[in-house]
Amino acid sequence: MSDVMIAARGLTKRYGPHRALDNASFEVNKGEIVGFLGPNGAGKSTTMKILTCYIAPSEGTATIKGADIWDDPVGARAAIGYLPESTPLYAEMLVAEYLEFMGEMRGLQKDALRKAIKKVVEECNLGGFYAQEIRTLSKGQKQRVGLAQALIHEPPLLILDEPMSGLDPNQAVEIRDLIRTLGKERTVILSTHNLAEVQVTCQRVLIISKGKIVADDTPQALTSRGRNRYTVLIKKPEKGYRDASARDVFAKVKGVDTIRAIEAEEGAVKLEILPSGKDDLRAELFKAAVDGGLTLLELRQHAQNLEQTFRDLTLTAAEAGEDEDEDEEDEHEAKPVAKASAKDEDEDDDEPASKSTDDKEKE
């Protein structure tokens, strides 16, 4: 058997005119821990639901350990241990009853079932609340029961949808360590929008945005490959200022890809400029500001990290998209990132190019 655990080809899922997933193709090899990273609504859960044969793709197909999701859904499901988002469990059951039920659904019986339950109880450390009703458990304990359920039939592939969301930091560390241990002998796919999580847990990251896979690499490579990012602070003229005209000034610079207005202090405008290449654009940007008659208060270059790569990739794709229905999302993403970018502003060789230029004087 080949080393490919999942082969997805051209997966597309349409909900009316909206494409939740747009021609996504990827492969996951045996033994990898792969992180699906993307903003809410990017298509992570949709991909997982398709792989587990809960929903069917509008186009495309995938094979799980050789079993096609169209031709052999039961075979594909048998190879997967799945933990859906928000860990749905039967609240009225005891942990013991629940594991027994899930084990039986997986075709385990009698001795094999008893052994399997004993094994997952140890692996996921459920001993302390094995005889409790599920409704009485904490979120972290429920998460462990959910994982135990996914592991009970020793599946070669684990699919975990946001396994660490909603957990407190201690629980998150606990679950993360568990996933890493499990990943030693299994293939694991997990989705998240927590970047730190991916950096520590995963060997490979697939970044999904607007239903498209926009990056597929190791966390290290994604961190280092990034383009630099610039912010410029311009003084707002007394009157007659238009956002668009300031943008036009910088858009003319060769190598500028996208420009976004971000939060700024009173009387000033802050623009974020993403270049398309790796060249240093500071000199050109400065020149453009002077030529365009803008009063430049600040010009900074920021080094890239995974967070910015993520934002860069997901926001660029979002802006390029036709439909605007995910504006909301961009705002969600922008908030935490804005904070983070404030932190690392001092890292790089800042160039506080605060020179006031006046058109008329020059002429």
Partner 1 sequence: MRNTLTIASRQFRSYFNGPVAYIVICLVMIVIGIFFWPAFFLSGRASVRQMFTLIAYCVAFAGPALTMGLLAEEKRSGTLELLITMPVREAEVIIGKFLAALGLWAVLLACTLPVPFSVSTLGNLDWGPVWSGYLGIFLMGGAVLAIGLSFSSFTDNQLVAFFLSCFVSFVLVLVIGWVLPFLGGAVANVADFISFSSHIEALARGVIDSRDVIYFLSITGFALMVAFRALESRRWS
Give whichever of 73 and 293 is closer to partner 1, judged by the CB atom.
73
Cα separation, 161 vs 148, whole angstroms: 15
In this chain, which stretch among 101-109, 182-190, 237-245, 301-309 interacts with partner 1, using CB under 8 A? 101-109
Q: Does 52 bind partner 1 (CB under 8 A)?
A: yes
Q: Which of 9, 29, 78, 293 binds partner 1 (CB under 8 A)?
A: 78
Give whichever of 104 and 347 is closer to partner 1, judged by the CB atom.
104
Q: Which of 59, 71, 91, 278 binds partner 1 (CB under 8 A)?
A: 91
Q: C-beta of 91: minimal distance to partner 1 in Å?
A: 8
Q: Does 77 bind partner 1 (CB under 8 A)?
A: yes
The phi and psi torsions of 62 (rounded to 5 degrees) equal -150, 150
In this chain, which stretch among 99-107, 169-177, 187-195, 208-216 interacts with partner 1, using CB under 8 A? 99-107
Q: Does 131 bind partner 1 (CB under 8 A)?
A: no
**Beta strand residue intervals within the chain, DSSP E:** 4-15, 18-29, 33-37, 59-64, 67-68, 80-83, 157-161, 187-192, 204-209, 212-217, 229-235, 256-262, 268-275, 296-302
Number of residues that bind partner 1 (CB under 8 A): 30
In this chain, which stretch among 91-99, 196-204, 205-213, 316-324 interacts with partner 1, using CB under 8 A? 91-99
In this chain, which stretch among 88-96, 121-129, 269-277, 309-317 interacts with partner 1, using CB under 8 A? 88-96
Asked if 201 and 179 count as a contact pair (C-beta separation under 8 A), the reply is yes
User: Which among 139, 148, 145 is positioned nearest to 166, based on CA atoms?
Assistant: 139
Q: Which of residues 182-221 bind partner 1 (CB under 8 A)?
A: none
Q: Does 86 bind partner 1 (CB under 8 A)?
A: yes
Q: Does 101 bind partner 1 (CB under 8 A)?
A: yes
- Provide the greatest CA pair distance for the chain: 91
* DSSP-derived pairing of the beta strands 4-15 and 59-64: antiparallel
Cα separation, 144 vs 16, whole angstroms: 36
Q: Does 104 bind partner 1 (CB under 8 A)?
A: yes
Cα separation, 256 vs 245, whole angstroms: 15
Asked if 21 and 42 count as a contact pair (C-beta separation under 8 A), the reply is no
Asked if 211 and 20 count as a contact pair (C-beta separation under 8 A), the reply is yes
Q: Which of residues 142-161 bind partner 1 (CB under 8 A)?
A: 149
Q: C-beta of 55: minimal distance to partner 1 in Å?
A: 5
Q: Does 90 bind partner 1 (CB under 8 A)?
A: yes
Cα separation, 280 vs 226, whole angstroms: 13
Q: Which of residues 9-28 bind partner 1 (CB under 8 A)?
A: 15
Q: Which of 18, 25, 40, 55 binds partner 1 (CB under 8 A)?
A: 55
Say which amino acid occupies 148: A
Cα separation, 39 vs 208, whole angstroms: 8
User: Which among 183, 293, 205 is positioned nearest to 249, based on CA atoms?
Assistant: 293
Interface residues toward partner 1, by CB under 8 A: 15, 49, 52-56, 74-75, 77-78, 80, 82, 84-86, 88-93, 97, 101-102, 104-107, 149
